[in-house]
Amino acid sequence: MKISIRYKLMIGFLFIFCIGYAVMSFYLNKAVVDTNNSMIKRSLLSFQKELFLHVEQYFELEDISMDDTSFENHANDFAEKLSSKIEARVIAYSRKGDFLADTANANGIILNYEDLDNENKDIGYEDLRMATEDISSFVVVPVKDKYLVVYTSPILGIGERIGIVRCILDYSEVFSSSKDLLNMINTLVLIIFGTILLFMILLSKKISSPIEKLTKATKKIGEGEFDVKIDVDSNDEVGELAKSFVKMNKQIKQQIDIIAFDRDNLRKIEGFRKAFFDNITHEMKTPLTIISGYCQILIDQNFEDPQFLQKSVRKIKRESENMHKMVLQLLEASKEKSSTTIRDTEKINLSQVVDSACKDMKIKADKYQIFIKREIEENIVTIGNSAELRRVVINLLDNSIKYGDVHSNITVKLFTEGEDCHITIEDKGKGIPTDKLHKIFKRFYRINQSDFVETEGYGLGLDIVKEIIDKHHGEIKISSTEQMGTTVWIKIPQNVYKTETSV
């Protein structure tokens, strides 16, 4: 049998109402009982002090020694006088719990006097047993319209128990007030829960009605009828659901556009693949330039200096190895998509890295009569990836040569300041337009100006530089003035040390 959501909500609300009311009533009753017990305990503490005072006064006035024998011999007189003092029934017992006297002449049976119809059983003797262990206790006994508290306490003489008394106290007024209060609270809770239940039933109807309309509309769409109108006048979540449903219906009609979008995505993927190979081409160009430069020198001139020949071969070998590493890293990067950590970190001499990069780019700079001026603080050691930091300097120098003026200077500085290591590269050239400075770190972005010394490239260099600096937790900034030149500032966080200089 199919049950609608409306009736499910009503049944659920009714169940919650019953459980909530039962739990609330239980805890209210428990709270009243705990409160009454707490009041009785505080009252009995005061009563206990008064009781002990009357006991001491009795033995002093009657000039009787406080021992168990005297207590047993004067039990009836003691019980009567104590009862008149505290205005309550008193039952006296020996130190072992044997009955001695009862001011109600009921032989110690608690309910025989108050419950004439014998509707309640007697309360037992657990309190007497506790009194024989020198522990005071009380028991609440409901009898018809009355509430009695049976307080049992040992009577202590000089260093030992001489007897036990039971005092039957009437606390009906306290319990009657609590009972009236509890009934009033229960009635109020019932009214509140009933009102909430009625509200929930009306709310369930309001919620379920639009959902039923949406269900019918869904069936029609499933049958191929897309021109469905949904009349839901609501500004809440259900109304939002109806609006979303209408939008969804419209989107179903636009599947052809989604197919076209997927086609464009495939084209983008192809573009990314091409960009990856462009990146490889760009990164291989610099080491190939250095290798080509040394090879051209060796071919054009007949060198008899074995040291220069050996130096050239080492340079060519090193750049070949760098190129090999670069290809492997680019392939790895294409698999991982992105990386935010530095790989293969080590303690490196940053001064040597920067100086070596400047010397390697000197060949290309000489081609355009550009002089690389080095102001490098010696022996700056940091933690990082030497190959990546070298690529940063080479890429920036390559840009400065490419976009600098012929017969100009490029100044490279390396120094420490505070907790940071700073690299600046300043060139003299056409500069970068102010409105294009914020785009230069974007991949594949290039400034098209025909009067630069070199115009080839794919706009990947600065993007790669920024990624490397970011992985070293550094910062890179570029300022430029048209017709004046460009300055690049790089700051790498500390981890900077001074190496020891041997003599």
pLDDT in tens, 177-189: 777 777 888 788 7
**CA–CA dist 89, 104 (Å, integer):** 7
- Reference 349, options 499, 193, 135, 146; nearest CA is 499
Alpha carbon separation from 118 to 38, 104, 112, 121, 127 (Å, rounded): 29, 16, 7, 7, 21
Q: Give 320's pLDDT tier (boundaries 50, 70, 90).
A: confident
Instruction: Examine domains 5-180 and 339-503 and report if their fold is the same.
Output: no
Pairing of strands 496-498, 485-493: unpaired
**137: phi then psi, degrees, rounded to nearest 5:** -155, 170
Per DSSP, what are the bridge partners of residue 415?
422
Please report where in the chains the tokens 């400075």 appear, as a residue: 437
What secondary structure, in 3-state letters, does 116-169 show?
CCCCCCCCCCHHHHHHCCCCCEEEEEEECCEEEEEEEEEEECCCCEEEEEEEEE
Token readout for 389 is 């930091």
Per DSSP, what are the bridge partners of residue 371?
409
Pairing of strands 380-384, 371-376: unpaired
Q: Is the dihedral of CA 244, 247, 252, 256 positive or negative?
A: negative
Please report where in the chains the tokens 């809770």 appear, as a residue: 189
Domain spans in the chain, listed from the N-terminal domain onward: 5-180, 339-503
Against a cut of 0.85, is the pTM above it? Answer: no
**CA–CA dist 56, 156 (Å, integer):** 10
**CA–CA dist 175, 161 (Å, integer):** 33
Alpha carbon separation from 155 to 54, 68, 197 (Å, rounded): 11, 9, 58
Q: Give 256's pLDDT tier (boundaries 50, 70, 90).
A: low
Quick one: what percent of the chain has pLDDT higher than 70? 80
**Which range, of 134-148, 221-235, 372-386, averages the lowest pLDDT?**
221-235
Between residues 443 and 499, the one the model is more confident about:
443
Model pLDDT, residue 503: 26
Between residues 135 and 222, the one the model is more confident about:
135
Q: Give 413's pLDDT tier (boundaries 50, 70, 90).
A: very high
Between residues 271 and 382, the one the model is more confident about:
382
Model pLDDT, residue 501: 33
Residues 112-168 have pLDDT tens digits of 545 444 444 556 778 888 888 889 888 888 877 788 888 999 988 877 888 999 998
Scanning 223-367, the segments in alpha helix (DSSP H) are: 237-252, 255-300, 306-336, 350-367
Q: Are 150 and 141 in contact (CB under 8 A)?
A: yes
From the candidate CATH numbers 3.30.70.1880, 3.30.565.10, 3.30.750.24, 3.40.190.10, the one assigned to the domain spanning 339-503? 3.30.565.10
Model pLDDT, residue 452: 47
Model pLDDT, residue 301: 64
Domain 5-180: CATH superfamily is PAS domain (3.30.450.20)
**CA–CA dist 416, 423 (Å, integer):** 9
Model pLDDT, residue 457: 47
**CA–CA dist 428, 486 (Å, integer):** 7
Pairing of strands 409-417, 371-376: parallel
